[in-house]
Chain A
Amino acid sequence: MSLSRLLERLLQLIPVLLGVSAIAFLMMALTPGDPVQIMIGDQSITPEQEAELRRGLGLDRPLLERFFIFLRNALQFDFGTSFYHRRPVSDVIAERLPATIELSLVALIVALVTAIPLGVLAAIRKNSILDRLATVGSLLGVSLPGFWFGILLIMLFAVHLQILPVSGRIGYSSEVPTITGFLLIDTLLHRDLAAFGDALRHILLPAITLGLPMTAILMRVTRASMLEVLRQDYVTFAEAKGLSRRRVLFRHALKNALIPTVSVAAIETGSLLGGNMIVEAVFGWPGLGRLVVESIFLRNYPLVQAAVLLYAVTYVLLNFVADILYTILNPRVKL
């Protein structure tokens, strides 16, 4: 990918983000329910107090004006104040973001380390029992709803076998001062192995639940592309050269077969963001997904808008990463 292509991709970001901002803004504005009414709840206040509250939140201005104020501020990375938390939206999000990133990354790792070996094995032993099991498993993986599968895992490992915790990021007994916000890293930085193990045990089930659909998709992509590659002349030629089976499979076949897998993985990582909302709710994971769901119910406009923008940027950037990885793995595509 040339520099001009890089710039072009970055420029494409502008209309995407503008569009996403407008949609996020309008969706929230058009959703029935009034944030002021929700904040008041059962309390009785005077109409003057209510008007004052509305003015304070900037909700007394016309819709279009509110949109332009939002855009102007967003350009300066000012996403306003969370109605509910009464703190800058960026602070609230920054607090919750590491938990979500950590969960997504672990889910991604889980997906990659199970999907690629399984896909390769299924392709090598095509039509074997293992291949059929993997195929059925991947079908289940994409079809099972995350909330149901998560609850199933909780019932089995937390309730029945009692070997893994039900929810949260870490046990109450562990005190880990925040450095990066990523518990798995912070615990290691403090050389607190017990806490690290605890955090690892907590993240396991949600990460598996979150990563399951992605595992299934990556498994199928790897299997299909491996089968395709194994039919190629260069694999036969590699065998004719008398290379070890290992080298033929991993150096010659897998390197080519991974090109689609990696691209799909990078794009699918974006879908983890959506999965996060459900998985975080099921496992009581204090991340961004849960915050966004809560904020939607509270009509916490500024926070939802900022989060939607963040999701959009992440998605576009991941596509970008997919392109770059593609060029790295595939020497025929020039960088």
Chain B
Amino acid sequence: MTVLLEVTNLRTEFSARAGLVRAVDGVSLQISRGECLGVVGESGSGKSVTFASIMGLVRPPGRVTQGTIFFDGCDLRGMSPEEMRAVRGRDIAMTMQDALTALNPALTVGEQLAEVLIAHDETLPTGRAARHNAIKDRCVEMLGLVGIPSPDSRLRQYPHEFSGGMRQRIMIAIALACRPKLLIADEPTTALDVTIQAQVLELISDIRAQMGMAVALITHDLGVVAEHCDRVMVMYAGQVVEEGPTDDVIGHPRHPYTRGLLASIPRPAMRGQPLTPIVGQVPNLMGLAPQCRFHSRCPLAQPSCLVEVPMLPVGPGRRARCLRLEETA
């Protein structure tokens, strides 16, 4: 598989009144064509900011200060805002956590779907009527693809006239309208009921297989990752702490944080026993010393951990950011 997205040493900082917050610190990642990468981490670990940085959607006071982002052979950081705009929505698309807030309440679903096509699709006919019909056909097709019944009449409706699951499907339809090479799905199921969650994930998987599109699935649900992702990347406090093939990482986690995450998931076999939470809190991202960030919460921590820890190889296609890897082997 060829590499579609390659990010190296990405750093994104937010300047706050009290100082500089390094929300993303030295993140490197790769996504191959057609691959599904799961990105896991608790709130504030930098998952969303990493991908907002890739899409060029970090707003002031935030700023990408370092690193390279290559997508499909193009240097995204070197692009002008106008070139970047053309990539967004066409080659890299994104869905957001809550479709209710991501869809514009004052515009019809049809308009919100059509505008992506108008912005990017150069194959549309130029004649007024033909163009209008082509756009309409594509909109109907997309809504049908994500399983909205009678899409024709529903194009004229507003987001609030749909159920939560339907809205999520519409948002996915909008993201996929231009058949992007990469879909960034930011917590696609968090705002949904459990039954709908499975449907939406199935939908994304199906379309991914059909279109041969790569997916970055941002979530804090390791169960979702286990079921849908080829590879997984675990983030903690702005850094990648472990990455590798999903089965390996979940079956045999090497970083103490990944182990903690897995231990805090309820399992049928552990019924009646208390869950094991990770004690302590995520460190404040402001002015962190160059040392292991999980140190204060880590059961394996030693004084020798108070140094900057690089990503270390732990087997084929696997790396982890820990000095105590022998102890987790």
Contact = CB atoms under 8 A, between A and B. Distances in A.
A256 B105 contact: yes
Interface stretch (A38-46, A153-161, A311-319, A325-333): A325-333
A321 to B, nearest CB: 19
A234 B89 contact: no
A243 B89 contact: yes
A331 B96 contact: no
Given A232-B101, A252-B104, A252-B107, A242 B160 contact: no
Contact of B104 (A234, A240, A244): A234
A240 B86 contact: no
B88 A240 contact: yes
Interface string A218-260: 0000000000000011101111111111010001100110010
A242 B119 contact: yes
Contact of B89 (A236, A241, A245, A255): A241
Nearest to B158: A331
B303 to A, nearest CB: 43
Given A233-B101, A242-B85, A242-B89, A329 B96 contact: no
A330 B96 contact: no
Contacts of B200: none
- Kindly name the residue among B86, B103, B104 whose own CB sees the greatest number of chain A CB atoms within 10 A: B104
Nearest to A240: B94
Contacts of B107: 251-252, 255
Contacts of B158: 331-332
Nearest to A231: B59
Contacts of A241: 88-89, 93, 115-116, 119, 174-175
List of 8 A-B pairs having minimum Cβ-Cβ separation, nearest first: A242-B89, A242-B88, A233-B101, A241-B89, A237-B102, A240-B94, A234-B104, A331-B158
Nearest to A236: B57
B55 interface: yes
26 contacts: A232-B101, A234-B101, A234-B104, A236-B57, A236-B96, A236-B102, A237-B94, A237-B96, A237-B171, A238-B104, A239-B57, A239-B88, A240-B57, A240-B88, A241-B93, A241-B116, A241-B175, A242-B86, A242-B89, A242-B90, A244-B119, A247-B115, A251-B115, A255-B107, A256-B104, A331-B158
A240 B105 contact: no
B87 interface: yes
B154 interface: no
A331 B89 CA distance: 26
A256 B107 CA distance: 9
Contacts of B18: none
B106 interface: yes
Contacts of B57: 236, 239-240
Contacts of B120: 242
Contacts of B105: 234, 256, 330-332
- Kindly name the residue among B94, B160, B171 whose own CB sees the greatest number of chain A CB atoms within 10 A: B94
A234 B103 contact: yes
B72 interface: no
Contacts of B55: 240
A259 B106 CA distance: 10
B86 to A, nearest CB: 6
- Kindly name the residue among A242, A252, A256 whose own CB sees the greatest number of chain B CB atoms within 10 A: A242
Interface string B206-239: 0000000000000000000000000000000000
Interface in B89-142: 89-90, 93-94, 96, 98, 101-107, 115-116, 119-120
A236 B115 CA distance: 15
A232 B119 CA distance: 21
A234 B102 contact: yes
A256 to B, nearest CB: 5
- Kindly name the residue among B93, B105, B120 whose own CB sees the greatest number of chain A CB atoms within 10 A: B105
B115 A233 contact: no
Contacts of A234: 101-105
Contacts of B103: 234, 237
Contacts of B104: 234, 237-238, 252, 255-256
A233 B103 CA distance: 8
B87 A242 contact: yes
A247 B85 CA distance: 12
